[in-house]
């Protein structure tokens, strides 16, 4: 099987992308990050997902982005709650982590070169993306162009990196439907920016509201909430 590096956060989108990479018969090498985020819940989820879906290898890389810029995900800054969906379509929210996807993609590129992999998967989305500048199609295209100028394998012609962003033009509901077609168990995933209790979603942050909108429009219940209500 052809190796591919898959960025895996433990969230709904990246889990769907991992399932899509497997469906395309890639051998996925999952890469997650302990980057100074306030909550470890997503890494616990990423570990469970990697084990359940099956990957060739799963690495959790340690980097500390807290010193490089404040974000509600890494610093003692309030996570926005209860925002209207239309408000999420304008401006950059406090949960933006400076250059996070650029850092993540750069390390994924390094691993891909080591593995001899020409394919890299990321779960960015330009529709329900909550204002992040590094989730846009022109950003991904620009990084891919840069990546092919930045490695020995690319310059020597041994590798032509392709960044797959298969969720880019999909709504959250379409992403969920695609994942369900592939057998994804979304109860394993965690999306919340500010989890409560035993890592359960707060229900009011942007990520929770977008997730709820997606499941409602897909016409299916969120299994994570069903598990919570059942006390699982």
**What is the three-class DSSP state of 105?**
helix
User: Do the beta carbons of residue 161 and residue 147 sit within 8 Å?
Assistant: yes
Q: Collect all residues with Cβ–Cβ distance below 8 Å to 29 and sequence separation of at least 6.
A: 3, 4, 5, 6, 55, 56, 57, 58, 59, 111, 115, 117
pLDDT mean over 44-49: 97
Over residues 183-214, the pLDDT tens digits come to 999 999 999 999 987 778 999 999 999 999 99
Contact 166, 179 (CB under 8 A): no
Q: How many CB atoms lie within 10 A of CB 161?
A: 23
> What confidence score (pLDDT) does residue 230 get?
47
Token pair belonging to 190:
């965690």
Q: Which of 14, 226, 210, 213 is nearest to 120 (CA)?
A: 14
What integer pLDDT is reported at residue 128 of this predicted model? Answer: 65
Q: What is the pLDDT of residues 114-130, one digit of tens each?
A: 999 999 999 998 876 55
pLDDT mean over 105-122: 96
Grouping H, G, I as helix, E, B as strand and the rest as coil, residue 123 is coil
pLDDT tens per residue, range 63-78: 999 888 789 888 888 8
Cβ-based neighbours of 208, under 8 Å, separated by 6 or more: 191, 192, 193, 201, 202
Q: What is the pLDDT of residue 39?
A: 83
């Amino acid at each position: 099987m052809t190796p591919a590096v898959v960025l895996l956060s433990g969230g709904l989108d990246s889990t769907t992308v991992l399932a899509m990479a497997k469906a395309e018969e890639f051998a996925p090498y999952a890469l997650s990050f302990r980057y100074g985020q306030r909550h470890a819940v997503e890494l616990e989820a990423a570990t469970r997902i990697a084990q359940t879906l099956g990957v060739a290898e799963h690495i959790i890389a340690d980097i500390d982005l807290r010193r490089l810029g404040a974000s509600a995900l890494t610093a003692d800054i309030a996570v926005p709650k209860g925002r209207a969906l239309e408000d999420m379509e304008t401006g950059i929210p406090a949960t933006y982590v400076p250059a996070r996807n650029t850092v993540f993609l750069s390390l994924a590129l390094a691993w891909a070169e080591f593995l001899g992999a020409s394919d890299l998967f990321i779960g960015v989305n330009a529709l329900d993306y909550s204002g992040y500048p590094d989730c846009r199609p022109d950003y991904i295209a620009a990084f891919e162009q840069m990546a092919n100028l930045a490695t020995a394998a690319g310059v020597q012609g041994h590798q032509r990196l392709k960044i797959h962003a298969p969720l880019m033009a999909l709504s959250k509901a379409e992403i969920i439907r695609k994942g369900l077609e592939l057998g994804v168990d979304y109860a394993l995933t965690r999306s919340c920016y500010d989890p409560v209790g035993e890592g359960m979603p707060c229900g009011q942050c942007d990520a929770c509201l977008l997730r709820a909108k997606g499941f409602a429009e897909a016409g299916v219940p969120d299994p994570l909430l069903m598990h919570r209500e059942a006390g699982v």
